[in-house]
């Protein structure tokens, strides 16, 4: 088992928290006993993950005398909303959960974001523990304290920064994850290499096949390195006033793709891969990375089974979905661009003409 620590200066009451990464650690609740303020916890999960892992987890907790209240939500991004959040509050209130009753999120990013927001707001905040079960959640969403829900007018528009007490990333749970979800998670792993770690990018070029084959030690290494990066970025900029924005490489384009194609048709990681190719091409045309580097990025995504060509929505629709339609007249726009493989920066000087060209020439009819 590996442990990465997130050290936060901005939340003195809660100096830091461990991220435990390893096979079968879900069967070791002793790792989290210190964080349980009482002999009762609420476990939030969904109708897919619950049947796979909930009973065993509850039984393992009960060995330590911990009683658990299960809260099983419907599965899907479309349920990341107020109605589902209220189901969590209903259950917490019905079972008279108290200020020191921890909420544990057992599932992917959707469960984590919902349960985290519930923990942040129930009784003005109760202890929270993340047990992420998708690769995306293990390398990204469970670390860093962003929680929240979607609004009909926008994704992740309502939420809170609320750090967990601990994260338990059990790589054995990835055995049941569908291939497509695994690949989508790899897109976020590649992102860390692209924005801040050229050696990790090299490592991924030679180990992505092993990740796709679910080689456990390789998965642990990829998750550990990803969590170290996420932790460092969050430590430096917990509330995203600067550096944390780099984690959104490819995401402005990606969100437009997800939104235009209908949520769920393109998985988030898939849209991020195709969106990052657009960002790479803008970077190349701005005189940053060269054609050879663009090719290396494309090849790694292809090897990971991720899409590299974004759908052709037309530049106008892209700009509208990216919230840039009003800014295009001004001529210059802000984007996260790649200066090298391993170095990203925010650039506020992207000419509208380059953006329009890339959105026209580097996309294909869906």
Ligand X SMILES: NC(=O)c1ccc[n+]([C@@H]2O[C@H](COP(=O)([O-])OP(=O)(O)OC[C@H]3O[C@@H](n4cnc5c(N)ncnc54)[C@H](O)[C@@H]3O)[C@@H](O)[C@H]2O)c1
Active site residues: 124, 146, 188, 230, 240, 244, 248, 251, 255, 268
Does 209 carry a binding-site annotation?
no
Does 75 carry a binding-site annotation?
yes
Pick between residue 20 and residue 268 the one whose CB is nearest to ligand X.
268
49 touching ligand X, by CB under 6 A: yes
* Residue 140 beta carbon to ligand X: minimum distance, rounded to whole angstroms: 5
What's the half-sphere exposure (Cβ side, CA atoms, 13 Å) at 183? 18
80 touching ligand X, by CB under 6 A: yes
Among candidate residues 209, 230, 229, 228, the one with its CA nearest the CA of residue 219: 209
Does 133 carry a binding-site annotation?
yes
Q: Which residues of 198-236 are buried (b: 16+ CB within 10 A; e: fewer)?
A: eebbebbeebbeebbebeeebbbbbbbbbbbbbbbbbbe
| Contact set for ligand X, span 175-204 (CB under 6 A) | 176-177, 181
120 touching ligand X, by CB under 6 A: no
Instruction: Please identify which residue in 46, 101, 165, 283 interacts with ligand X, judged by CB under 6 A.
Output: 46
The pair of three-digit structure tokens given for residue 272, joined into one six-digit string: 């991020």
* Residue 141 beta carbon to ligand X: minimum distance, rounded to whole angstroms: 3
113 touching ligand X, by CB under 6 A: yes
| Contact set for ligand X, span 296-355 (CB under 6 A) | none
DSSP state at residue 304 = T
Pick between residue 84 and residue 101 the one whose CB is nearest to ligand X.
84
Dihedral sign from CA coordinates of 133, 137, 142, 147: negative
Pick between residue 140 and residue 224 the one whose CB is nearest to ligand X.
140
CA 304, chain centre distance (Å):
17
Structural contact between residues 32 and 15, judged by C-beta atoms closer than 8 angstroms: no
Instruction: Please identify which residue in 84, 130, 133, 228 interacts with ligand X, judged by CB under 6 A.
Output: 133
Query: For residue 146, with 0-12 CB atoms within 10 Å meaning exposed, 13-18 middle and 19 or more buried, which class applies?
Result: buried
Q: Which residues of 254-288 are buried (b: 16+ CB within 10 A; e: fewer)?
A: bbbbbbbbebeebbbbbbbbbbbbbbbbbbbbbeb
Q: Is residue 299 classed as helix, strand or coil in its secondary structure?
A: helix
Instruction: Please identify which residue in 68, 173, 226, 252 interacts with ligand X, judged by CB under 6 A.
Output: 173
Does 147 carry a binding-site annotation?
no
Structural contact between residues 338 and 279, judged by C-beta atoms closer than 8 angstroms: yes
146 touching ligand X, by CB under 6 A: yes
* Residue 66 beta carbon to ligand X: minimum distance, rounded to whole angstroms: 22
The pair of three-digit structure tokens given for residue 254, joined into one six-digit string: 């990606």
**How many other C-beta atoms can be found within 10 angstroms of the C-beta atom of residue 108?**
27
137 touching ligand X, by CB under 6 A: yes
| Contact set for ligand X, span 245-284 (CB under 6 A) | 268
**What residue numbers does the annotated binding site cover?**
75-80, 109-113, 133-134, 146, 155, 173-176, 188, 251, 268
Which residues bind to ligand X, rule: CB under 6 A?
46, 48-49, 52, 75, 77, 80, 107-111, 113, 133-134, 136-137, 140-141, 144, 146, 156, 173, 176-177, 181, 268
């Amino acid at each position: 088992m590996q442990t990465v620590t997130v050290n936060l200066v901005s939340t003195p009451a809660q100096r830091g928290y461990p991220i435990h990464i390893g096979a079968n650690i879900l069967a070791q609740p002793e790792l989290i006993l210190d964080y349980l303020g009482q002999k009762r916890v609420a476990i939030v999960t969904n109708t897919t993950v619950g049947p796979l892992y909930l009973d065993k987890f509850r039984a393992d907790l009960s060995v330590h005398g911990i009683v658990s209240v299960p809260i099983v939500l419907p599965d899907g991004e479309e349920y990341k909303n107020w109605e589902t959040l209220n189901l969590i509050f209903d259950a917490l209130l019905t079972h008279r959960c108290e200020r020191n009753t921890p909420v544990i999120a057992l599932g992917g990013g959707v469960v984590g974001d919902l349960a985290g927001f519930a923990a942040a707001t129930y009784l003005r905040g109760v202890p929270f523990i993340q047990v992420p079960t998708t690769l995306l959640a293990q390398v990204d969403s469970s670390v860093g304290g962003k929680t929240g829900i979607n609004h009909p007018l926008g994704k992740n528009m309502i939420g809170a920064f609320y750090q967990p007490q601990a994260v338990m990333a059990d790589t054995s749970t990835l055995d049941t994850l569908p291939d497509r979800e695994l690949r989508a998670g790899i897109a976020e792993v590649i992102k860390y290499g692209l924005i801040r770690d050229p050696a990790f990018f090299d490592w991924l070029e030679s180990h992505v096949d092993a990740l796709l084959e679910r080689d456990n030690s390789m998965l642990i290494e990829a998750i550990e390195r990803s969590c170290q990066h996420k932790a460092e970025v969050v430590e430096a900029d917990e509330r995203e006033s600067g550096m944390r924005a780099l984690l959104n490489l490819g995401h402005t384009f990606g969100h437009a793709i997800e939104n235009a194609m209908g949520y769920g048709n393109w998985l988030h990681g898939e849209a991020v891969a195709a969106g990052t190719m657009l960002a790479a091409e803008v970077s190349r045309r701005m005189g940053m990375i060269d054609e050879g580097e663009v090719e290396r990025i494309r090849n790694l995504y292809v090897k990971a089974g991720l899409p590299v060509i974004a759908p052709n929505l037309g530049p106008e629709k892209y700009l509208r979905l990216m919230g840039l339609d009003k800014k295009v007249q001004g001529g210059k726009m802000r984007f996260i661009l790649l200066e090298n493989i391993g170095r990203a920066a925010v650039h506020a000087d992207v000419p509208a003409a380059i953006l329009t060209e890339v959105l026209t020439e580097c996309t294909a009819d869906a």
